[in-house]
Amino acid sequence: MLDPTNREPPLPTGAEERSLATESWRDGIGFSIFSAKLRQRRPTLLRLMLIGALTGWLGGIAYNLVRISTFSASSELLISNTTLQMSGPDAVVTQVIVENSLIQSAIEMLKSTRVLDRVIDGMGLETIEQILPKSTLERAIEAAGWAKAREPGSSSEEERRQAALAKLRSNTSVSRVGASLVISVGVKALSAGDAVRLTNEMAGALVQEQNDTSAVVSTSAALRERIKVLGPTARIISYAVSPRSKDGLATTVMLLLASVIGGALGVGAGLALTLFDQRVRSAEQLVAATSLECFGYLPQLKFPRGRRAGLAGLLRRSVLRRARAAVLERSGRMPRFVGVTSCHCTEGKTTLAASWARFLAQDGARVLFVDATRDPAASSRSNGTGKLQGLHELLRGEAFADDVIQAAVSPNLDLLASGNASGNLDVLWGNFGVAIGAARECVYEWVIFDLPTLATAADVRSAGQIIDDLLVVVEWGRTSEAELKEALRSLGPVRDRIVGTVINKAPWTSLESEALVQALAARHASAGGDLKRLVGEGLS
């Protein structure tokens, strides 16, 4: 017969010291927690990488379709400086050292309005407008027919010229070749031939402008022709040739680079999400957040088939064995009152509690499974009756244990339904041990309670009057660390009776290989099979 008044106090577990300690246990394990979260989210990271790579590839194709294909040609000019020196009765033309200022002046002159005007006058305004690259907006306006009709001599002629000057200047690049006296001029155009024509015209315009600037005004044409080479001059030493390829990267290289960048951004986004996501996904993260032992992972059980169905059973049995061992280590008293709860509904606590009760009963222990939830409708539906008396009627003294306990629902396993809830059971839990002990000749070794969720922590705390140990079920990727900490804090002293936690509904793709190997090792020990072959089967 059970007597709850003479129950032994629970053995100390050190939880009191842990609750008083600061969060120094988090020091130095941030990287390990992050690594564990990364292992759990490897499938997500892989998907994000593939999505990013595909997005980058599609973006590269779109860019190639809308980008303006241009060709660049270049010509080189030599800058020199000559002067006239008198040596007795003779005059000698000699080279003078060219200063950096002269080189810079030539570069700026190439981009000057006078040189660009010579180019426009030489090739024609219409030609310049046609061969220079147009922006996407300009092409869209032209395609839509929004461009204003322009007539020669209209008021917009000067605007067209100024626009052509600005566009020509923006498509012209001038640079010095190393530390030499050579400058390189390059111009972009829509075709290779136009780029060559435009570049050679630009170089010729600079030479002409330089000669006109250096010439001495004289009434004598012969004298002007002889002395025009004096001073800074520019001479073309390399004419532009037709470019072999378009500007920019090749299409294949661009698509490959866009895919790599997109994949890298996808992985970076996944790493950021993993870093800032506080939802529980790994045993290390759960242990760090709660200072409680995690007994392992239970996989999702949506239509398990073949090897996965067998492997799910191995993982479940391994977790239940660890939970049973933890309870046995805390106390040798019988019966053992153990509650199972979770932070939220539908996290799988009822399924786990029922599985644990069946597991204990199959090993020969006498087990009573108690539905202590506050949803009598669910209990009634699960048992196929409209009104089913159970725990609430038993504690209120409205029914006897023999009337409400369903005996032998499976070998060694009895069931006590929730019944019809009315009010709360805060002051009635002390009647439980006497009620079931007086009605049964055989003594239960285990009493497993399916408790309400921690959202109604008051119900769990009131049940703590008779419960010795508490198991918390956490759904993979649903419950956050903050929610879990707040729920455990609301338990008060009952928190010290938590024996451990279990991560439920873990995706098969996120299950750690260590958990699979442990389950397969247990199967190997019991069946004597080839461990290497079993591991290969399980991981496949």
With CA atoms as reference, report the closest residue to 428 among 393, 401, 456. 393
Q: Specify whether the CB–CB gap between 335 and 350 falls below 8 A.
A: no
**What is the model's pLDDT at position 407?**
84
Neighbours of 190 (CB within 10 A): 16
Considering just the CA atoms, what is the radius of gyration of the chain in Å? 43
Q: Specify whether the CB–CB gap between 243 and 73 falls below 8 A.
A: yes
User: In a 10 Å sphere around its CB, with 0-12 CB exposed, 13-18 middle and 19+ buried, how is residue 117 labelled?
Assistant: middle
Tokens for 400, please give them: 């006897």
Which DSSP symbol is given to 42?
H
With CA atoms as reference, report the closest residue to 341 among 108, 151, 497, 133. 497
Q: Specify whether the CB–CB gap between 324 and 499 falls below 8 A.
A: no
* Coarse DSSP helix, strand, coil percentages of the chain, rounded to the nearest 5 percent: 50, 20, 30
CA dihedral of 148, 151, 152, 156, whole degrees rounded to 10: -40
With CA atoms as reference, report the closest residue to 393 among 419, 365, 416. 419
Which H or E run includes 383? Answer: helix 376-383
Tokens for 453, please give them: 């969720």
Tokens 């799910």 correspond to what residue?
A: 312
**What is the model's pLDDT at position 97?**
62
With CA atoms as reference, report the closest residue to 201 among 221, 213, 185. 185
CA dihedral of 138, 139, 143, 146, whole degrees rounded to 10: 0
Neighbours of 310 (CB within 10 A): 15
Q: Specify whether the CB–CB gap between 229 and 93 falls below 8 A.
A: yes
d(C-alpha 315, C-alpha 329), whole Å:
21
**What is the model's pLDDT at position 13?**
43
Q: Three-state SS for 503?
A: strand
d(C-alpha 4, C-alpha 496), whole Å:
20
Contacts of 371 (CB under 8 A, 6+ apart): 379, 390, 391, 415, 416, 417, 418, 450
Contacts of 317 (CB under 8 A, 6+ apart): 359, 519, 522
In the chain, what is the straight-line distance between the N-terminal and C-terminal CA atoms, in Å?
51
d(C-alpha 311, C-alpha 315), whole Å:
6
Which H or E run includes 258? Answer: helix 251-276
**What is the model's pLDDT at position 181?**
85
With CA atoms as reference, report the closest residue to 479 among 378, 341, 374. 341
Q: Which CATH class is domain 71-140+156-238?
A: alpha beta
**What is the model's pLDDT at position 521?**
58
> Would you write out the chain's pLDDT as a tens digit for each of its 540 residues?
344 444 444 444 444 344 433 343 344 446 777 777 777 777 888 889 999 999 999 998 988 887 888 899 999 988 877 665 555 565 555 555 667 888 888 888 888 888 899 898 888 888 888 888 877 677 666 666 555 444 444 447 888 889 889 999 988 999 988 888 888 999 999 888 989 999 999 888 888 887 776 554 444 555 555 555 566 778 888 888 888 888 888 888 889 999 999 999 998 988 888 778 788 888 888 888 888 899 988 888 765 555 666 777 888 888 999 999 999 998 777 888 999 999 988 888 999 999 999 999 998 899 999 998 865 444 444 444 445 788 888 888 888 888 888 888 888 899 988 888 777 777 788 788 777 765 555 578 899 999 999 888 888 888 888 888 999 999 988 888 888 888 888 888 889 999 999 999 888 877 755 555 555 555 555 544 444 443 344 433
State residue 71 phi and psi, 5-degree precision. Answer: -125, 145
**What is the model's pLDDT at position 96?**
57
Q: Three-state SS for 179?
A: coil
State residue 490 phi and psi, 5-degree precision. Answer: -70, -10
Q: How far from 453 is each of 383, 393, 413, CA to CA, in Å?
A: 21, 21, 24
Q: Specify whether the CB–CB gap between 187 and 72 falls below 8 A.
A: yes
To the nearest 10 degrees (0 to 180), the angle between helices 481-489 and 283-290 is: 40
User: In a 10 Å sphere around its CB, with 0-12 CB exposed, 13-18 middle and 19+ buried, how is residue 18 labelled?
Assistant: middle
CA dihedral of 421, 423, 427, 432, whole degrees rounded to 10: -10
The domains of the chain are located at 71-140+156-238, 291-539
Q: Specify whether the CB–CB gap between 181 and 98 falls below 8 A.
A: yes
Q: Which CATH class is domain 291-539?
A: alpha beta
Judging by DSSP bridges, how do beta strands 367-371 and 413-416 pair with one another?
Answer: parallel
Q: What angle do CA 170, 173, 177 make, to 5 degrees?
A: 165
528-532, Cβ contacts within 8 angstroms, sequence gap of 24 or more: none
Judging by DSSP bridges, how do beta strands 413-416 and 294-299 pair with one another?
Answer: unpaired
Q: Specify whether the CB–CB gap between 79 and 207 falls below 8 A.
A: no
